[in-house]
Structures are given as structure tokens and as C-alpha cells.
Amino acid sequence: MPSAIWSAPPRSASARDCSVADSALTEAESALLRELTARGVRFLIVGATAAVLQGANTATQDIDLWFEDTTDPRIQAAVDAVGGIWVSGSFGAMPPTIGGEPLGDRFDVVVHVHGIEPFAVEFSRAPSMEIAGVSIRVLPLERIIASKRATNRPRDRAQLPALEEALAAATTKDDET
């Protein structure tokens, strides 16, 4: 299975142009995002993937998904529809997991995002982007930055300059329009 790396689009590309994201997804990964959306599962793309989608000059290999409710049976149905495996983690022994062939291990299920509001609040504020042919909500850069600051791990601190630069560029671009 290909191990694509998500990286920032060229500076000339719009942060809303997700052709880079689409090309970084396998067909099964794209299908899962379409299935989740078609079934009405509420989720956000968060973390470095969300930052890359918004133009941050950083890279990541995984795709962080924050679900409103990891016990939602529609998640299982969506994963089943693409031939993957869903472990809800509801029995407490391990965190929720999406994987199996053909999905691989690039999807990480996030159960809590530090330093920001609860899922429902963040979901209501999150912009939508077209990814894999569907409209998907993505945690905004300023909220990713707040979370990275709150978590304060070395790898999060290392990403802050790129995230802040992308936010400044987006803000400047918005001011010019």
C-alpha cells in the first residue's frame, strides 16, 4: 500500500484547493471519507493534516479524524463498506482504531483535542473543504494552533512556526479580498 505524505500545496495554490489532498489519498481512503459523509457521521479532520489542507508548510503521514461520537454505528457501517476494520474502543482496552486492508493505518481516531472547545462547538465553527469529492469540515488553523500550544509536546512546538506563518498568510489574503 502506498504511504503518501501530506505536504503543503505550493504557495500559489489556494488553501481551499484540495487537489494535493485528493492525490495523497488512496482510493480506499477517499471512499471512507465519502462513506462517512454520506452516512451523516459528524467528524472533523484535525491536527497536521488539517493544517496542511489550509496551506501550512509542514508534512504528516497520518490523517487525524475527530468524531462526535465514536460509538456511532454509522462509523462501523462506513468502514465495513470499504472493506476496513473498525475497533470502537468502547470497551476501554484501547483507543478507537480504523485499519485493515485496504485502508492501512493512516487514519488516527482522536478522542480528545486539548486546549479547544468540545466537538459540537468546534464543528459548528469549522469551515468545509472539498476533499475526495465531498464537503468535509476541517479544524481551522487558529484552533489547531491553540491545541498545539495546550498540548505543548516538542513535536507540537516544532510545528507552531509553520502553522502561525500559514495563519498569517491566510489572514493577509483575506484582508486583501
Return d(Cα 152, Cα 9) in angstroms, integer: 26
Q: Which domain holds residue 36?
A: 6-172
The tens digit of pLDDT for each residue in 76-134 reads 999 999 999 999 886 767 889 999 999 999 999 999 999 999 999 999 999 999 999 99
Question: Is 34 part of any domain?
Answer: yes
For the domain that residue 15 is a member of, what is the CATH number? 3.30.460
Question: Is 1 part of any domain?
Answer: no
Number of domains the chain is built from: 1
Question: Is 42 part of any domain?
Answer: yes
In three-state form (DSSP H/G/I as H, E/B as E, the rest C), the secondary structure along the chain is CCCCCEECCCCCCCCCCCHHHHHHCCHHHHHHHHHHHHCCCCEEEEHHHHHHHCCCCCEECCEEEEECCCCCHHHHHHHHHCCCEEECCCCCCCCCEEECCCCCCCEEEECCCCCCCCHHHHHHHCCEEEECCEEEEECCHHHHHHHHHHHCCHHHHHHHHHHHHHHHHHHHHHHHC
- The pTM for the full model equals 0.86
Average pLDDT over residues 64-77: 96
Sign, Cα dihedral of 32, 37, 40, 43: positive
Rounded mean pLDDT of the chain? 87
CB distance 66 to 43 below 8 Å: yes
Average pLDDT over residues 130-159: 96
Question: Is 177 part of any domain?
Answer: no
